[in-house]
């Protein structure tokens, strides 16, 4: 509070939202997930990274949106960033990534959130919106990977299969060198270096897991996602085809499409897209009360099966990492992690273990209780 000598009383300065991040951990079965929180308040956006990347990628966006009055949560999915990195492929199915998002929503204790991400994060957001529509107030989806990606995925698949036979040793040498490099302070670059510095077995588990389950909701299920949606797409690479972005915007009942100038515009020159996202969040949160969760939950069922194997392979060739990791996809041949096996594996995680959400009636993936320890101290990227 400050006073003005010419006035008769104190002048209250408006509070500036804090944009410092606080790092937390969340129990997901036998694993720990890392997430970061920027800002405060009820207007929560959960943002998900691309494949093999992490929260570093979007810290700039998180700080900018937090300064606009949003609480932004960056989740490191299993196998990424500071979250645990199991070296078998089963836990890395994309439908299980959606489970992890729902566990996070339980941890945050919110009724509804805005949900979004880039590439892998977009597809996981769509799966989550189908799984628990009552939890999702709106979507921000950048660079979806859907049906049009199949031909490009085929182009990546053969080189991946050939390189894996010969690249494991050099990849491990590269990862050891890169893991020793200091942080650059540039979020997207640090996110990329973190991926390159990961052990090839950890990377292989993630990439292999992409091929094992549903990659995206079906077209019919996407048509049932009724929440306001902002779709960001570009026409630079075939894996993130602008045709997929256009198709998704047509399929969703309440969607708006923005064409980005490059695939990296949001990270390199973010002002235009950040303003678009911030304005979209303002409009959605201002648009009345949250929709009835029970009514939304009845709109659709979670997919039992998803995209074809070539669509899964599209993620393997995602433009973020290039050829350095193409040999990792099949380094491990771990057994599948089917839904039926999860019940026994996680049945005794801890006292009070429960499913993440009542909306997920067909899932037995737990969020263990009590809540994991958290840290509320700020930190620098």
Q: What is the pLDDT of residues 261-297, one digit of tens each?
A: 998 899 889 999 999 999 999 999 998 654 444 444 4
| For range 175-203, the mean pLDDT | 85
Which residues, including other chains, have CB under 8 Å from residue 10's CB and lie 6 or more apart? 1, 2, 3, 4
Q: pLDDT for 208-244, tens place per residue?
A: 887 777 889 999 999 999 999 999 999 778 888 899 9
Q: pLDDT for 18-60, tens place per residue?
A: 557 899 999 999 999 999 999 999 999 999 999 889 999 999 9
Domains of the chain: 15-147+213-306+342-375 (3.40.50.1820)
The pLDDT score that the predictor gives to residue 249 is: 97
Q: What separation in angstroms does the CA of 140 have from each of 13, 73, 238, 271, 318?
A: 33, 14, 21, 16, 19
The pLDDT score that the predictor gives to residue 363 is: 42
Count of residues in the chain: 381
Q: What separation in angstroms does the CA of 163 have from each of 196, 328, 370?
A: 16, 8, 44
Q: pLDDT for 301-352, tens place per residue?
A: 433 333 333 333 334 334 334 434 433 333 333 333 333 333 333 333 333 3
The two structure tokens encoding residue 212: 């094992």
The pLDDT score that the predictor gives to residue 355 is: 39
In terms of pTM, does the model score above 0.85?
A: no
Instruction: Evaluate if residue 377 carries a pLDDT over 60.
Output: no
Cβ atoms of 122 and 141 within 8 Å: the answer is yes
């Amino acid at each position: 509070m400050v006073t003005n000598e010419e006035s008769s009383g104190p002048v209250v300065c408006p509070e500036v939202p804090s944009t410092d991040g606080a790092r937390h951990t969340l129990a997901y079965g036998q694993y720990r997930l890392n997430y970061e929180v920027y800002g405060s308040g009820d207007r929560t956006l959960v943002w998900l990274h691309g494949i093999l990347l992490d929260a570093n990628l979007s810290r700039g966006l998180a700080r900018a949106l937090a300064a606009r009055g949003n609480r932004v949560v960056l989740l490191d999915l299993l196998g990424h960033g500071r979250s645990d990195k199991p070296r078998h492929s089963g836990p890395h199915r994309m439908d299980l990534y959606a489970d992890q998002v729902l566990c996070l929503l339980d941890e945050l204790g919110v009724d509804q959130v805005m949900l979004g991400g880039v590439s892998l994060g977009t597809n996981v957001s769509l799966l989550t919106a189908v799984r628990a529509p009552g939890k999702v107030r709106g979507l921000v989806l950048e660079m979806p990977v859907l049906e049009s990606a199949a031909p490009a995925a085929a182009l990546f698949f053969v080189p991946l299969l050939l390189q894996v036979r010969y690249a494991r040793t050099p990849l491990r040498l590269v990862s050891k060198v890169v893991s020793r490099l200091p942080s650059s302070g540039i979020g997207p670059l640090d996110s990329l270096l973190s991926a390159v510095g990961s052990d090839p077995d950890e990377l292989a588990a993630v990439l292999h897991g992409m091929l094992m389950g549903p990659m995206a909701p079906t077209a019919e299920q996407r048509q049932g996602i009724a929440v306001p949606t902002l779709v960001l797409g570009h026409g630079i690479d075939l894996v993130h085809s602008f045709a997929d972005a256009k198709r998704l915007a047509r399929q969703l009942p309440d969607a708006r499409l923005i064409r980005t100038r490059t695939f990296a515009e949001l990270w390199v020159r973010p002002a235009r897209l950040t303003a678009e996202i911030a304005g979209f969040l303002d409009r959605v949160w201002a648009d009345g009360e949250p929709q009835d969760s029970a009514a939304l939950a009845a709109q659709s069922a979670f997919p039992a099966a998803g995209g074809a194997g070539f669509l899964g392979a599209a993620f393997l060739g995602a433009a973020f990492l290039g050829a350095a990791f193409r040999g990792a996809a099949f380094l491990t041949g771990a057994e599948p992690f089917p839904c039926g096996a999860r019940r026994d594996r996680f049945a005794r995680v801890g006292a009070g273990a429960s499913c993440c959400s009542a909306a997920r009636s067909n899932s037995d993936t737990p969020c263990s209780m009590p809540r994991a320890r958290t840290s509320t101290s700020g930190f620098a990227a």
